[in-house]
Amino acid sequence: MDDPLSRIDTSPLDALLRIRAELDLLEGRLQTMQSRRDSVAAAVYARVRDDYERRRDALDADARPLKAAARASHAALRQQLAQAGNAHEAARLDREEIEFRFSLGEFDATEQQTRLVEIDRRLAETGAARERAEALHQRFLAAFASQEDLEAGAADAPTVQLRTLGEHDTQPASPPPPPPPPQAGGAATVAMKIPPADAAGATQVMRTLKRDGTAPRSDQTLIMRTARLLPRGGDTGAQPVVVALKPLLLGSGSDCDVKIAGARAHHAEIRASMAGFTLTDHGGGVRINGVAVEQHLLRQDDVIDIAGTQYVFRDL
């Protein structure tokens, strides 16, 4: 049987793990040096520090092409993670439906068990597939400094200008005047004015700007749909929440966009990036599909649990 996970190239990971181990060792030595600075001559300290920094820069350069290859492979893995999660959730809902119909007297216990046999088999298979995909994701994550590093790309990615299309727009309008060019040697910056995107399904445009501030080519424009958080469970008063380009703060604080009783004041946050919508736990504890996470790139039908309140993420 064809296994899509077996086709994902993991060859860069071992080399990246070795580089990370060396980088961690160098960073540890550089930090230790600070406390021992007065124990050696300034010239000796500078010589050792410069040596470590050169070696660190060389390792960063070696890691760069490996990271690019690993990110390309991880993009395919993200699709498998989403498919496995969706299949498992579909099987779980099918089982819940059978139990509900049985409770209504639609069929007897014998028929109930007969129907559950196939569903339980699917649950076991989809659960195992999801666990294998998640385990592979953890291998990729171990080779990077963070989830953001793995999914957001290199730190020198071009700046982006964010804009919202109206409901009846068919194509992006002409870009606004470009920002002033950066000073020589400085990082490119751009002021971002983000209009509100209250309408569900409004299209978000992330238009890449060149470093010189000139207008982008057509192949540099990414179209990003807004998403929704759909209440799940017994909270009948909860309303769907639109997720757009503006950061979404979740918690019990008065300034939160999504107020959740029993949560911490600033419990978690959802932000848009070039990779999609990422949820970050601010220390209150968040579970996605029953698994505790610190940071997670949201996928279709992910179930978010914060302080017992659940939402289903839907990318419209």
Which pLDDT belongs to residue 80? 86
Strands 160-164 and 203-208 turn out to be antiparallel
**Residues constituting the chain:** 316
pLDDT digits (tens, 9 = 90+) for 67-80: 999 988 888 898 88
Tell me the C-alpha distance between 262 and 285, whole Å: 12
* Sign of the C-alpha dihedral computed for residues 50, 54, 56 and 60 taken in this order: positive
Q: Where are the domains of the chain?
A: 4-152, 227-315
pLDDT digits (tens, 9 = 90+) for 77-99: 988 888 888 888 988 999 999 99
Q: What is the mean pLDDT of residues 8-20?
A: 91
- The domain 227-315 having CATH identifier 1.10.760.10: the answer here is no
pLDDT digits (tens, 9 = 90+) for 258-312: 999 889 999 999 998 777 889 999 888 999 998 888 889 898 889 999 988 999 9
Which pLDDT belongs to residue 157? 38
pLDDT surpasses 50 at 166: no
CA 130 to chain centre: 17
Which pLDDT belongs to residue 59? 92
Provide the mean pLDDT of the chain: 78
pLDDT surpasses 90 at 47: yes
